[in-house]
Structure 1
Amino acid sequence: MSVPQLPFDAALSQNQLLAVLPREAWERLRPHLEVVELGLGQVLYEPGRTMSHVYFPHTAIVSLLYVLEDGACAEIAVVGYEGLVGVALFMGGDSTPSRAVVQSAGQAVRLPARVLREEFDAAGAVMHLLLRYTQALITQMAQTAVCNRHHTLEQQLCRWLLLSLDRLHGNELVMTQELIANMLGVRREGVTQAAGRLQHAGLIRYSRGHITVLDRAGLEAQVCECYGVVKQECDRLLPPRIAS
């Protein structure tokens, strides 16, 4: 099946990084960009394997997971329309110890690794933009580690829901409790109890793998400081979203 052609205006309105590319950089990258559909649970890369492409999500959300030797895993960061998947490609390595898995199905634009690396090595505006995004991503990873160590599971779930919600166009996530447990690196029973408390408080509605956020302000009132730190740093470092 052929990949649909990416309209210029659509690309500008979907991914924050692509949206602010200088015209000359866009013209160099445009012939190599392609739209791809990302399915729920699809693995974009595995630990230690060479990555052939970088992905700029549009409507998809991708989780970066660290996988232990026994197969257990935990989410270290989440990427949506604000960023890209594959920072190792321009930071001096061709692989990472993490796994990238599609958390919410949707579209992304992908670009061959070689093309992005050449643009980055030119040391222009694109390099500075990608470095700012990398700083925001590192902040999210560091704050996730702190949150998992010091805050309650309910607070972690609130943080996870809000970060995911920030990267969606609506207020509904398609995600089973088992997958959430894998993302947070906890037992499913713990997620069931935490989600039940949030639902009892009228903040979310959970049914058959669908989580609907009913009261975002309520979630923000319950979440720990970690969410605010990550959001503030993203807002400071990254360009604002251009409405589609």
Structure 2
Amino acid sequence: MSDPRPYRNELLRRMMPDDLALIEPYMTRRNLPLRAMLVTPDTPIEAVHFMEHGIAAVIARTASGHGAEVGFIGFEGMTGASLVMGDDRAAHACSMLFEGEAIRIDAVHFNAALAASPTLRLYLLRFVNYMQTQTGCTALANAQLKLEERLARWLLMCDDRLPDERMAITHEFLASMLGVRRPGVTITLQLLEGRSLIRSRRGEVIIRDRAGLIELANGSYGEAEAEYARLIGDIGAAQA
């Protein structure tokens, strides 16, 4: 790796050189297919993944198996952040929502780097703080907003992390992520398409009017994104 910052992942791009040097020898690039499990609940975390492409979703599930998305991780972040907080496992699953690529570091070497460098842990705790804000915004949206507002926010968050406006996703999968029934998602997609905000095809959603989606999101999009910029930095440069 001759380029000192050969990464798309924002955490790696902004990491202090000395901290980066601690983990670089243990980095491996991995292709991650759709639904690849990165974190299994209540099981020791084997590795962290600094996302380069694609989106991983944090999924909370009830005892009966019903689940909903409670967090998004794209090229701005990492999986397995419980290790940063001194725990070896997480309460929620994390799996690939859109296929992609990540830089993997096994937990043993990652923990050793955290122990060797207080600045590395403090830096990555900023990301943990951001994720708590994102999760709080999701909880508020789920509790207070209409489905069309929640869907607008969800699509915007995908758009932030994907290379173009096309998203290969089914109505059924959208319903499972939002924790609602499929017919509601179908009707809501039709509503957004009728407003020329998106184009919905079989197994694909295309964003046509991002500004319109932001308006429809009714204030639910933007707070977490602003917190990331405050804590870590603007992610716009990596999208260029």
Q: TM-score, normalised by structure 1?
A: 0.92
Q: Secondary structure at the match of 2:63?
A: coil
- Which of 117, 123, 126 is 2:120 aligned to? 126
Distance (Å, rounded) in 1 between the aligned partners of 2:216 and 2:49 = 33
Distance (Å, rounded) in 1 between the aligned partners of 2:182 and 2:73 = 23
| Aligned CA distance change for structure 1 residues 24 and 97 (closer, same or farther; 3 Å) | same
Counterpart of 2:72?
78
2:84–2:114 CA contact under 8 A, matched in 1: yes
- Which of 198, 202, 206 is 2:192 aligned to? 198
Paired AA for residue 24 in structure 1:
D
Q: Quick check: 1:186 aligned with 2:180?
A: yes
- Which of 74, 86, 91 is 2:85 aligned to? 91
Instruction: Note the alpha carbon deviations across 1:12-65, whole angstroms, 9 max, x for none.
Output: 440000111222222221110011011112221221111100011111100000
Q: Quick check: 1:143 aligned with 2:145?
A: no
TM alignment of 1:20-169, pairs within 5 A: 20-169=14-163
2:19–2:117 CA contact under 8 A, matched in 1: no
1:17–1:239 CA contact under 8 A, matched in 2: no
Distance (Å, rounded) in 1 between the aligned partners of 2:4 and 2:162 = 17
State the 1:9 CA deviation: 3.5
- Which of 209, 216, 221 is 2:210 aligned to? 216
Instruction: Note the alpha carbon deviations across 1:198-230, whole angstroms, 9 max, x for none.
Output: 011111111121111111011011112221211
Distance (Å, rounded) in 2 between the aligned partners of 1:11 and 1:46 = 30
Distance (Å, rounded) in 2 between the aligned partners of 1:185 and 1:109 = 30
State the 1:183 CA deviation: 0.8
- Between the two proteins, the alignment pairs up a number of residues equal to 238
Instruction: Note the alpha carbon deviations across 1:81-127, whole angstroms, 9 max, x for none.
Output: 00101111221211112111101111111111122222223343322
Q: Secondary structure at the match of 2:34?
A: coil
Paired AA for residue 85 in structure 1:
T
Q: TM-score, normalised by structure 2?
A: 0.94
State the 1:130 CA deviation: 0.4
Distance (Å, rounded) in 2 between the aligned partners of 1:160 and 1:197 = 15
1:90–1:116 CA contact under 8 A, matched in 2: no
State the 1:178 CA deviation: 1.0
Counterpart of 2:165?
171
Paired AA for residue 198 in structure 2:
I
Where structure 2 has 5 or more consecutive residues not aligned to the other structure, the ranges are none
Distance (Å, rounded) in 2 between the aligned partners of 1:219 and 1:104 = 21
Counterpart of 1:4?
none
Where structure 1 has 5 or more consecutive residues not aligned to the other structure, the ranges are 1-6
Paired AA for residue 214 in structure 2:
E
| Aligned CA distance change for structure 1 residues 72 and 119 (closer, same or farther; 3 Å) | same
1:44–1:102 CA contact under 8 A, matched in 2: yes
Counterpart of 1:240?
234
